Amino acid sequence: MRLKRLVGLGILAGIVYALWRAWSARMPASDRAVEWQSSPFPFPPVPRPKLEAWLDADDSGTCPATHPIKAKMSSGIYHVPGGANYDRTHPDRCYLDAAAAEADGLRRSKV
């Protein structure tokens, strides 16, 4: 019974839609309040570069702004900006965030 009712509602909706399309096609263009123009959906997507979890540090001992976490692989410790030893640490790797450093088995510095 429920299936027959749904099929009947679908047929009724199709008939109403067809009548509406026929009526709107006969209506003069000047009487329309809004005119719709088609455009591609939504726009061509803008490619975004995928950031790697870590980068090798350069020789100057600074990390890029996108990867602020400094890590020393020999000690297994990473330093966050504002930490006590952050400025004097010469990193082996620079990480995107603390979670990425911890995923590589590093631990946060205690100070």
Residue 43 lies in a domain: no
Residue 100 lies in a domain: yes
Return the closest-CA partner of residue 69 out of 46, 50, 48, 53: 53
In the chain, how many domains are there? Answer: 1
pTM passes above 0.75: no
Residue 111 has pLDDT above 70, yes or no: yes
Number of H helices, E strands in the chain: 2, 5
| Token pair of 77 as six digits | 């410790």
Following CA atoms 17, 22, 26, 31 in sequence, which dihedral angle do they give, to the nearest 10 degrees? 0
Residue 34 lies in a domain: no
Residue 5 lies in a domain: no
pLDDT digits (tens, 9 = 90+) for 31-68: 556 666 666 666 676 777 788 999 999 888 889 999 99
Q: What is the pLDDT of residue 10?
A: 93
Residue 73 lies in a domain: yes
Residue 75 lies in a domain: yes
pLDDT digits (tens, 9 = 90+) for 80-107: 999 999 999 999 999 999 999 999 999 9
Residue 30 lies in a domain: no
Residue 60 lies in a domain: yes
Q: What is the pLDDT of residue 69?
A: 96
- Is 102 in contact with 80 (CB distance < 8 Å)? no
Phi, psi of 28 (to 5 degrees): -60, 145
Q: What is the pLDDT of residue 1?
A: 79
Return the closest-CA partner of residue 89 out of 73, 107, 105: 73
Domain span including residue 76: 54-108
State the DSSP H helix or E strand holding residue 73, giving kind and residue range, or none if neither. Answer: none
